[in-house]
Structure 1
Amino acid sequence: MNPNLSDWDDDLPPEPEEAYQDLLRALRRKSGFGLFFVQCTPVEADKFIVKLPQEIPQKKVEVLRFVESIDNLYQRVAEFVKDKQVDILLIKGLEYSLYKYEKRSFGEITEGQFSNLTSVPHILNHLNQQRERFRDDFPISFVFLLRSFSINYFIHRAPDFFDWRSGVFELPTTPEVVEQESNRLLLERDYEEYLKLTPEQKIEKVIEIQDLLTEKYQPENQKPRLLFELGNLLLTVNEYEAAIASYDQALKLKPDKHEAWNNRGVALGKLVRYEEAIASYDQVLKLKPDYHLAWNNRGIALDKLVRNEEAIASYDQALNFKPDAHQAWNNRGIALNKLVRNEEAIASYDQALKLKPDYYEAWFNKACCYALQGNIEQALENLQQAINLNPDKYREMAKTDSDFDGIREEERFQALIQ
C-alpha cells in the first residue's frame, strides 16, 4: 500500500504561484473588513498594484502610498476613502514609519532580523489601540505590502492588530526581479551621496541590501558587490566592526576584490587598529600595485604609528601613480612637518594648492608651518586664505592639536574609500 503523500505536502510551504492564487481567492471571497499582510520587495509591490485590478475587476481597488513616516493611519485612511467606493485598499510604504526604530545589529546578514524590543513604534501603537475603529468604520480589505522585517514588527509589536489578520502571503519573485533590484542599488551607489542620507534612509538601504542577500535567486557572483556596498553604507553610520564583517564576507567570495581590502583597511583605521589596516592595504597592493588610494591610506596608518619616514615613502608611491592626488600632497606635507622639515612641507602644501586652490586644509596647514618657523606675516596671510574659503571650519580647525591630526581627519576619511 502506497503512503499518502498528501499528508507530507501539508507540511510544505506553498509554491510562490500557489500562494499568489491563494491571496487572489481570499480577496475575491472577502466582504467587508479584513487584514491581509503581503511580504514583498518594492518592485514586486509595484507590479502587484498594477496587476491586482486586472485579476479582480469586480472589486474596486485603491492604493495609499507613503514616502515618509506617519503616526496616524486611521486619519489618513478616513481622508483617502471619503466619497470613494473602495473594496480593497493597498497600503505601501509603512516601513518609513519603522526605520527610526530599527536598532539592528548591522553586521549580521539574517533574514527578518530586528532587535528593538524596548519601544513600540508610534504607528504600531496607534494600530493596536484603534483596531476596533478600523473594523467598525471601514468595511474594506486592507492589504499591507511590506518587507519581511516590517511583518516581524507587526507580529511582535502590534500583536492585537495583527491577530485579526485574514492571512499572510509572500509574493512570488523571479531571478529577473532580484537582478533588477540588485542592479538598481548598485547603480545608485555613491559614497558622497550616502553621507547626505538621513539615518532612516541609510537604514532603508541597509535593509534592502540585506534582504537581497538572502534572496534564493541571488547569484553568487553578485553577492560580493552587494556585501561591498553594504560595508560602505555601514561606514557612513560609523558601524566599523559590522563594515569589516561585511567586507570579510565579500572577500571570502571574491578574494581579489581590491576595493574591499582597501575599505576594510579604512574601517580598521577608524578603530585605531593601524597595524591590521596596513596589512589590509598591503593585500590591495599585492593585487593592484598602482592603486594610489591604498598607498595614500597606508601612509596615513603609518603616520598614526609615528613611522613618518615610511609614511612619506608611501605618499610618494601614491603620487608616483597619481601626481594630481592633492590629498596625498597635503598628507605628505603633514608627515614632513612632524619631522620638522618645514620647507619641504610647505613645498608639498604648495603642490596641493596648485591642484586645488580652494583646498582650505592645505592653506591652514601651511599657515601652521610658517607659524612654527616664526614667520608670523606669512602665517597670517595663509590663515586668512583658509578663513575666507571656510570660516566655519576654520574655527574648528583652530582648536586642533599642533600635530595636525584633527585638521585632516574628516578630509582624509572622505577621500579614503573606493
Structure 2
Amino acid sequence: MNPNLSDWDDDLPPEPKEAYQDLLRALKRKSGFGLFFVQCTPGEAEKFIVKLPQEIPQKKIAVLRFVEAIDNLYQPVAEFIKDKQIDILLIKGLEYSLYKYEKRSFGEITEGQFSNLTSVPHILNHLNQQRERFRDDFPISFVFLLRSFSINYFIHRAPDFFDWRSGVFELPTTPDVVEQESNRLLLEGDYAKYLKLTHQQKIERVIEFQDLLKEKHQTDNRKVNLLFELGNLLSATKEYEAAIASYEQALKLKPDYHQAWYNRGIALDDLGRFEEAIASYNQALKFKPDYHEVLNNRGNVLGNLGRNEEAIASYDQALKFKPDYHDTWYNRGIALGNLGRFEEAITSYDQALKFKPDYHDTWYNRGKALRKLGRFEEAIASCDQALKFKSDDHEAWYNKSCYYALQGNIEQALENLQKAINRNCEECCKWARTDSDFDSIRGNERFKALIQ
C-alpha cells in the first residue's frame, strides 16, 4: 500500500483528528519511560510510521517489527536499541504472539471471553513480570501499534503492564484506508489458499475481516463481499455454523446474492443438514436458474437422502446448461447405480470419462457397475484404468481381487488381494473376512494366511 500522506489530515472528521493530535502532543511532551497503546489497522500503522517523524522531528524515532510470534520482548528491545539514541520506539506485529495462543473457535472477541486467565500468552506473562525492568532499563516511549483485538488482550491478560500506560489512542480511519484494506482482503480471497493457512494465520485473517466490517466508513456493498469472503474462510476452517451466519448476514444486505445461497448450502451440507441445504440451493437457483454447480450439488444432497430419482433429474438439468461437466455425469452414474440401473450408470460413467479420462474414481465405480452385470473381464479392465491413474488405491486392488475370485481365477485373486493388503492391511483384511465374493476360495490356505 502507498498511502497518500498529504491527504490524511484533510480527510479526517473532527473527533479522530483531535485524537490524533492528542497522541502527538503526548509523545512530544513525554520524556523517559512511557507506554502508549495505539489502536489501528495494519494500513493505518504503516501510514503512522511514515508520518510520525515528520510530525515530531525533534524526537529520535525507530520501528521494531515482528513477523512471527515471540515469547520475550525485553531481549529483542535490548539488542535493537543497543548503541542507538532512541526517544520513541514503535512496535508493530505483536499480534502474532497472541494469535499463536488463541485456542478458541473463530468467533468474535468479547470482554467476557477474557475472564479466564488460566491460559495467558507467554508474551503477556513476560510483560507482566518484567515491567519494572522495562521502566528501569529503557528510558524511552514504547508505542504499541495494535488492533482492538490485541488491546483487549492487554487489558484483560496483561493488567500489570497495561496499568502503566501513558495513554490509549485510536488512529483515525479514513474512507480511503477502509477501501484499500477491504480491497486487499477481497483480492487475497482464495478458498484453496485458506486451506493452507496455519491456525494462527486463520485467526489473524478472521479478525481482519471483523475489524473492517465494523468500520464506520464501510459501505454496504463492500460489507456484502467481505461477509461472503469471511464465510468462505470460516468454511475452510470447518467452522460451518459461523460460516452460515456470515453468509446470512450478507444475504440480509443482498437477498439475491446467488453465490451466498450456494455456499450457505454447501456449509449446511457439510453439517449434514440436507433438507436445509436443498432449500438454500433452491434459493440460489431462484436467482440463477442455469447455475449448473448448484444443480449438481443439489443432486448430491438428494442422493444422500436416498431420493435418487430427484437427484438424477437435478443432474439432467445441470447437464442441459453444461453438457461437458464430468462431475455431474459421474454423480449421475452413482445415482443410477443406486437404483440398480447399471447399464445406464455405465453409459453415464463413459460420458464422464469422455471429458476427464484420468478420473480414477469414475473408472473404479464403472468397474463396480460392470461387476453387478456379471461382466467381470470388463470390470477388471476398468480397475486397471483406475490403478493407472492412482496406483496406491487399495480399494481398486481389492475389488480387482474380488472380480478374479468371482471368475474362479484363484491365483490372480490372491495376488491382487496381497497388493490391496500391502496398501491397507486393516481395512482389506476386515472386508475379506466376510465378503461373499471370496466364498469360493475361503478354504484356501494362502487366503487364510493373507487375511490373518
TM-score > 0.5 by shorter chain: yes
Asked if 1:250 corresponds to 2:256, the answer is no
Residues 73 and 386 of structure 1: CA distance in aligned 2, closer, same or farther (over 3 Å): farther
Offset at residue 112 of structure 1 (A): 7.4
189-198 or 207-216, which deviates more: 189-198
Offset at residue 20 of structure 1 (A): 0.9
Offset at residue 375 of structure 1 (A): 4.2
Residues 255 and 26 of structure 1: CA distance in aligned 2, closer, same or farther (over 3 Å): same
Deviations 1:185-243 (A, max 9, x none): 11111111211211211111111111111111111222111111111111111111111
Residues 200 and 383 of structure 1: CA distance in aligned 2, closer, same or farther (over 3 Å): farther
Contact 1:234–1:240 (8 Å) recurs in 2? yes
Q: Which residue of 2 aligns with 1:88?
A: 88
Contact 2:268–2:276 (8 Å) recurs in 1? yes
Q: Which residue of 2 aligns with 1:197?
A: 197
User: TM-score w.r.t. structure 1 length?
Assistant: 0.86
Asked if 1:148 corresponds to 2:148, the answer is yes
Residues 368 and 87 of structure 1: CA distance in aligned 2, closer, same or farther (over 3 Å): farther
Contact 1:186–1:229 (8 Å) recurs in 2? yes
- Measure, in 1, the Cα distance between the counterparts of 2:204 and 2:66: 14
Q: What is the aligned length?
A: 387
Report SS of the residue matched to 1:306: coil
43-52 or 24-33, which deviates more: 24-33
Q: Which residue of 1 aligns with 2:46?
A: 46
Asked if 1:287 corresponds to 2:287, the answer is yes
Q: Which residue of 2 aligns with 1:181?
A: 181
Residues 391 and 135 of structure 1: CA distance in aligned 2, closer, same or farther (over 3 Å): farther
Q: Which residue of 2 aligns with 1:165?
A: 165
Contact 2:114–2:156 (8 Å) recurs in 1? no
Matches within 5 A, 1:226-241: 226-241=226-241
Q: Which residue of 2 aligns with 1:68?
A: 68
- Measure, in 2, the Cα distance between the counterparts of 1:195 and 1:396: 27
Offset at residue 115 of structure 1 (A): 5.2
Residues 164 and 385 of structure 1: CA distance in aligned 2, closer, same or farther (over 3 Å): farther
Percent identity (aligned) = 74
Residues 263 and 349 of structure 1: CA distance in aligned 2, closer, same or farther (over 3 Å): same
> One-letter code of the match for 1:215?
E
Asked if 1:219 corresponds to 2:230, the answer is no
Offset at residue 385 of structure 1 (A): 3.9
Asked if 1:134 corresponds to 2:134, the answer is yes
Residues 395 and 195 of structure 1: CA distance in aligned 2, closer, same or farther (over 3 Å): farther
- Measure, in 1, the Cα distance between the counterparts of 2:395 and 2:24: 61
Report SS of the residue matched to 1:15: helix
Residues 44 and 86 of structure 1: CA distance in aligned 2, closer, same or farther (over 3 Å): same
> One-letter code of the match for 1:139?
P
Matches within 5 A, 1:315-334: 315-334=315-334
Report SS of the residue matched to 1:63: strand
Identify which of structures 1 and 2 has the higher relative contact order when contacts are C-alpha pairs closer than 8 Å and 6+ apart.
Answer: 1
Matches within 5 A, 1:359-398: 359-391=359-391, 394-395=393-394
Report SS of the residue matched to 1:218: coil
Q: CA RMSD, aligned part only?
A: 2.4
Contact 2:114–2:157 (8 Å) recurs in 1? no
Q: Which runs of 5+ in 1 are unaligned?
A: 1-13, 403-418
Q: Which residue of 1 aligns with 2:20?
A: 20
Offset at residue 320 of structure 1 (A): 1.2
- Measure, in 2, the Cα distance between the counterparts of 1:259 and 1:107: 23
> One-letter code of the match for 1:303?
G
Q: Which residue of 2 aligns with 1:415?
A: none
- Measure, in 2, the Cα distance between the counterparts of 1:268 and 1:68: 35
Deviations 1:272-291 (A, max 9, x none): 11111111111111111001
> One-letter code of the match for 1:244?
I
- Measure, in 2, the Cα distance between the counterparts of 1:33 and 1:20: 21
Q: Which runs of 5+ in 2 are unaligned?
A: 1-13, 399-426, 432-452
Residues 88 and 247 of structure 1: CA distance in aligned 2, closer, same or farther (over 3 Å): same
- Measure, in 2, the Cα distance between the counterparts of 1:229 and 1:338: 36
Report SS of the residue matched to 1:145: strand
> One-letter code of the match for 1:345?
A
Residues 102 and 353 of structure 1: CA distance in aligned 2, closer, same or farther (over 3 Å): same
Q: Which residue of 1 aligns with 2:79?
A: 79
Report SS of the residue matched to 1:297: helix
User: TM-score w.r.t. structure 2 length?
Assistant: 0.80
- Measure, in 1, the Cα distance between the counterparts of 2:390 and 2:281: 32
Residues 126 and 357 of structure 1: CA distance in aligned 2, closer, same or farther (over 3 Å): farther
- Measure, in 2, the Cα distance between the counterparts of 1:136 and 1:305: 69
Report SS of the residue matched to 1:98: helix
- Measure, in 1, the Cα distance between the counterparts of 2:366 and 2:65: 54
Contact 1:114–1:152 (8 Å) recurs in 2? no
Report SS of the residue matched to 1:64: strand
Asked if 1:340 corresponds to 2:343, the answer is no
